[in-house]
Structures are given as C-alpha cells and as structure tokens.
Amino acid sequence: MRKRHPQLGSGNTCNADGDRLPLQPVAAAAPKLGLVAQGGVARPAGLHRHLAVVDGSRFAGRVPCLFCRHARRRKTRVEWEMICGRCRNLSEDEVEALYWTQEDDPARVVVPPNILRLSRANSDARYARAVECLGAWSVPRGARVLDIGCGISAQAEMLRDFTYVGADVDRARLGFGRRTHRWACYAAQSVTSLGFAANAFDAVLCLEVVEHLPPPQHAGVMRELLRVLRPEGLLVLSTPDGHMTAAKRLFGAKCERSHERELARVEVEALLVGAGARVVECIPIDNLVQPAGRLGAALAHLVADRPRWRDRLAGIWARAGYRTLLYAATRS
C-alpha cells in the first residue's frame, strides 16, 4: 500500500517519519478558529464601544482593557509597544502575537492584551494537562506527537521534548508557528481527512476541535485520529462539556457561539468507543469557561488580570456546568 504523506502549508514540512518534504498544494478546508477563540472568550466589540471611555495607558494596567479606548483600535507596531506594551508590561512575544493577529491573521481582529493573556492561560491549562497525560502514559522523549488544530502553535514549547508536528487548516497561522518555533514541523491538514500514514504517531492531541465540526463528521474524525495513532499510542482530546444544566438553560448552552455543538461526556465516550478506542481517563481542566455573550465577555475582562478572581469565577461556572473535559484514550 502506498504510504500517505501530509500536504504541508507555510511551516516546516515533514512526513510521518520526520523527513522534510517540499511544499505541496492543499485542498480547501473549512476555516479553523484561531487565537482568541481557542481561549473560550467571546470578543465584546459592541460592548467595548459603549464602555471604552478612558485612556487606560495612564493607569499602568490597573484598568481592564474593556474600558480603554486604545484596546480595540488598530495600532502600529510601535503603538502596540509604547501604549499597550508599557501599560500591560507585554513581552516581545505578546506584542508580536497581538500585532500579527491584527495585520496578518485571516480574521484580522484587534485583541485586547488582557484577553490574549486569558486566552493563553486557558490554552496553557489544556496543554499542561495533556502533557501530564503523556507522562502518565510513559510516552518517551522524542516520540512523534501530532497536535491537531494547533493554530499559531502558542503552546508548542510545552512539547519541546517530543518530535512535534502541528496541523491546522490555516496556512497563515501555520506560518506564524513556523517562524516562532523553527525546530517544529507543520502540516496543512483537515482533521476529517488526514494525509498521514496509518500508525504514524505515538500520541495525538486534539484539543478544542470537535465542537467546531458538524455532528455528522464526528464519528469519521474519531476514526481518523485513531488511524494515525500507533496501537500502543495515546489520544488526548478535550472539548467543552455539553451536558445540559439549569444554568445553561438560563444563560445559554454554548461557551462560544461558533461551536457547532458541545458534546456531553457520554456522547464523547460513545464516539471514541464506536471508533475503536478504549477511554482511559476523563478529567476536568481548571480553566475559565463561560456562557457565550456579553455577560461572559465582560466578566472575562474584569478577571483576566486577577488570578484569584479568575479562579473563583471559573469554579462558579464549573459548578453551573460550564467546564472543559479532557479525555485520554488508546486503541482497543
């Protein structure tokens, strides 16, 4: 049987054996959410227009970006550094990500700095849990790890001990990942039809992806994830808990409006088992998940720079049913 190789986008290119390949054309794929959406935080553009009445840069980061008139306006790279950079004590990496998202990301949105940090904190929590699972499963250093839906690959450094391959449908975001993580490999791929050979990876990460896909595609996606996973490998998947609660009936069932459908634990486990997996573990992730809409967006701004408040709010929403679950599974 002919060995299948990835069709790669803007990043370093490699096949299932880690060898680099020439750039190949990629078939059009459905758009993939990027930097802001990955953090589970809605963008309150309309709300900001009404509340952004002060020059937040005069308060040295003590005023939430929601109330700052600079936070949502387009800025030059120098303005990002001089205004938001000084106010929020932004790192060079954060300034680069904010400016790139404004100018080069397909969505071309202006992300307030405190929301960038909240988004990354949420993503960091998911990837930290995933790395813990890899360690518990004794996935060795240097093992091949596929990160499906990697976006700009902001958490790639957490997987530096492995042979990392980031995959996404968005070439621009893959290109950003390549520039910031030149040691890694990147592949322009759709999770519904991966171009990798069977049994190509020791571990597969699919964090916050399935909820963006139409339900009829879920079963096929699970089969694809397991197809590229080695028999003794580990699949780590995270997705918002779609179990309906009284609070969700009041505030809304989704934590992001862009989600096609958020699946309950029993549904995710049924999909995995139906695709030929054995679920090893299901654990909640300690991050802030809120109902989509203005209420969640405003609260996100207020707690983004206050870890204690953020943790308390995350606990309140988790008890109301708004949480992310992480599943570890292997081929049965």
Q: Using one digit for the tens of pLDDT, what is the confidence trace for 125-140? A: 999 999 999 999 999 9
Clarify whether residues 304 and 157 are in a common domain: yes
In a domain, 87, yes or no: yes
> Is residue 218's pLDDT more than 60?
yes
Q: Do the beta carbons of residue 11 and residue 175 sit within 8 Å?
A: yes
Rounded-to-integer distance, Cα 218 and Cα 213, Å:
7
- Looking at the structure, do residues 151 and 263 belong to the same domain, yes or no? yes
What DSSP string runs through 251-277? H-S-SSTT-S-PPPHHHHHHHHHHTTE
Residue 306 lies in a domain: yes
CA 324 – CA 224 distance, rounded (Å): 22
73 and 151 share one domain:
no
- The pLDDT of residue 40: 38
- pLDDT (0 to 100) of residue 8: 34
Q: What is the CATH number of the domain that holds 176?
A: 3.40.50.150
**Could you tell me if residue 21 is inside a domain?**
no
Question: pLDDT value at position 154?
Answer: 95
CA distance linking residue 165 with residue 148, whole number of Å:
9
The two beta strands, 144-148 and 201-207, are: parallel
Q: Are 137 and 157 in contact (CB under 8 A)?
A: no
**Segments forming the whole domain that contains residue 189:** 116-331
The edge-to-edge listing of strands for the beta sheet with 277-285 is 185-188, 163-168, 144-148, 201-207, 229-240, 324-331, 277-285
Tens of pLDDT, residues 290-321: 999 999 999 999 999 899 999 999 999 999 99
- pLDDT category at 222 given cuts 50, 70, 90 is very high
Q: How many CA atoms lie within 13 A of 147 on its CB side?
A: 27
For residue 123 the two structure tokens come to 């993503």
The pLDDT tens digits of the residues spanning 73-115 come to 999 999 999 999 999 999 999 999 999 999 999 989 999 999 9
The rounded distance, in Å, linking the Cα atoms of 164 and 150 is 11
Backbone phi and psi for residue 296, each to the nearest 5 degrees, phi listed first: -60, -40
Band (pLDDT 50/70/90 cuts) for residue 29 is: very low
Q: Copy the structure tokens of residue 226.
A: 């397991």
- Distance, CA of 40 to CA of 122 (rounded, Å): 8
Number of domains within the chain: 2
- The whole-number average pLDDT for the span 146-162 is 97
In a domain, 23, yes or no: no
The mean predicted confidence, pLDDT, of the chain is 87
Which pLDDT score, from 0 to 100, does residue 24 have?
33
Q: Distances from the Cα of 35 to the Cαs of 48, 72, 227, in angstroms?
A: 19, 16, 28
Residue 23 pLDDT > 80: no
pTM: 0.85
**102 with 143, same domain?**
no
Both 84 and 167 in one domain: the answer is no
Instruction: Tell me: do 176 and 280 sit in the same domain.
Output: yes
Token reading at 113: 């700095």
Residues 163 and 76 in one domain: no
Q: Do both 49 and 154 map to the same domain?
A: no
One domain for residues 123 and 224: yes
Banded model confidence at residue 49, pLDDT cuts 50, 70, 90 = low
